[in-house]
Amino acid sequence: MKEYVLKNVEEMHAWARDFAGTLNAPCVVALHGDLGMGKSEIARSVIQTLRGADTVVPSPTFTIVQSYDGISHFDLYRVEDVSELTEIGLVHAMENDITLIEWPEIATEMLPNNTIHVYITQYGDGRRVEVK
């Protein structure tokens, strides 16, 4: 496990850009944290680092998944049944893409053993990021 203390959103973006450089497809990154902890910010920075700073990265809260040429960004917050995960292409993405998953708890049983788990928690005015 590695732990990082990030004082502000700028440090979070810098950390995510560095983290992006370590990712190669296929890989799965499970982003854990309460609402507002920065899961989407980390995903956005990873995607923009790998696909260009001008890449528009909306939150997939309502679409559930957004794809960016070999990167899949899932938000499973609104998924109610595990059977939906295959329908939305999660299995295919995990086998082929860099797959970023917000709210991964519903998919726990499907995640590969080598999934990178990123836990984001409040730490003073900033965030603590633990990578397992």
Q: Give the CATH class of 2-131.
A: alpha beta
pLDDT tens profile 107-132 = 999 999 999 999 999 999 999 999 99
**Sheet of 71-75: strands edge to edge?**
2-6, 126-131, 116-123, 27-32, 98-102, 71-75, 65-67
Segment 23-78, tens digit of pLDDT: 999 999 999 999 999 999 999 999 999 999 999 998 888 889 999 999 999 999 99
The SS3 of residue 19 is helix
CA 122/CA 54 separation, integer angstroms:
29
What are the residue ranges spanned by the domains of the chain?
2-131
- In sequence order, the β-bridge partners of residue 3 are 130
Q: Say whether pTM exceeds 0.75.
A: yes
Q: Is 67 exposed, middle or buried (0-12, 13-18, 19+ CB in 10 A)?
A: middle
Q: What is the pLDDT of residues 78-99, one digit of tens each?
A: 999 999 999 999 999 999 999 9
